[in-house]
Structure 1
């Protein structure tokens, strides 16, 4: 099973809405992954709320980053990339959370939209971001919530956004606390696959899905 060509979700303000499928897809080729990921969204006046459950995570205890804005993406994370409007964005918010409830926040500049190098990040101090977050480890799973202020995403609230969700899953046991994910020891998964070829890549905003928010 390969990913549908364009993922989209419509939510009504004030109501939790799940993504249609719990399947995420490999970043490289869009093939369905066997790591169920349950994501629900809710919008209110102040926040975009994201609830997630990352299932089938055998090695969830082997994540060792505990401080905010460390390179969390070197181990297991759940990520949200989002920008206002419907065009392919060259600037967007990147937000990561790991099983230890550490977060990474950056405003990304990607002038080539992933076609070339030149991606840069302006880090956001989590304590100033007003993001609300939680994470909890389970038995071979972990879950969490993110409440993202609209003001952090853009100056004005929109009704449509380009968005993608990602998950890095460890696929083998690690003996060193400073281990780093790669194609041999992790799966790189997307809600809307970035179709990046041999090397996994998340920063391909032309492949972001579409979020539409209906007012009450």
Structure 2
């Protein structure tokens, strides 16, 4: 069914706004929480994943909780900023803007607490063009702690991301607006390198592509 051009133009902004989720994030110790159980890009069933977010005077605090994990599959030889996204990982993309960003932080963590952190330059807003690694995350105050409960099929990662990475001074986060998305990658040793993906704000198209900045959710620090 085709609509007259004037109707399409009028409808598109409302449809785009409705498609992207939003979250109000409180100051710690309170938390704003999201969860998702749909795969991307097909929106089929996916293991439950929860993300809790809060902020304090100096940092964003994110806790990723992965339920129903069966493999915990990682590359034991990988260290900081190696491509842990080829195995099992949870991720967030973060930008201090209300627009669809061209630059954002990509943070990833694996069940063995190995992390990837880099700023991505993505002028197409579809596929990252350049990667600028944060090579000393702990020295920069970007820290992570992961606990694994294999019998329960559970792993939890608590992450601290400094506000200074986004040019937000200490104590100035309240009232600011951001764009974020949260992802989970499940990889099995039996099917590697094939992967299973889930997202809070689903990204369209196949194969799955997380670097579509129009799909980043809207976040407000309240």
User: Shorter-chain TM-score: what band?
Assistant: 0.7 to 0.9
2:148 equivalent in structure 1: 137
CA distance 1:150–1:180, change in 2 (3 Å): farther
Which of structure 1's runs of 4+ aligned residues deviate more than 6 A? Answer: none
Maintained 8 Å contact 2:36/2:198: no
What residue number does 1:54 align with?
Answer: 66
Q: What does the per-residue CA deviation read over 1:117-176, in whole Å, with 9 as the maximum and x for residues that have no partner?
A: 562101111234311201121122211101100111335555110000110012x444xx
TM-score by length of 2: 0.81
Paired residues for 1:21-170 under 5 Å = 22-29=35-42, 31-60=43-72, 62-65=73-76, 66-114=78-126, 117=127, 119-125=129-135, 126-139=137-150, 140-155=153-168, 159-170=176-187
Structure 1: runs of 5 or more not aligned: none
Secondary structure of 1:129's counterpart equals: coil
Q: List per-residue Cα deviations over 1:3-55 (Å, max 9, x = no partner).
A: x72211102222432424x22432314x1533111211111010100012101
Aligned residue pair count = 197
Greater helix fraction, Structure 1 or Structure 2: 2
Stretches of structure 2 lacking an aligned partner (at least 5 in a row):
1-17
CA distance in 1, matches of 2:192, 2:82: 13
Does structure 2 conserve the Cα–Cα contact (< 8 Å) formed by 1:113 and 1:204? yes
Q: What RMSD, in angstroms, separates the aligned Cα atoms of the two structures?
A: 2.0
Please name the residue that 1:209 is paired with. Answer: 217
Q: Distance in 2 between matches of 1:17 and 1:207?
A: 22
Which secondary structure does the structure 2 equivalent of 1:199 belong to? coil
Structure 2 distance, partners of 1:118, 1:48, is 23
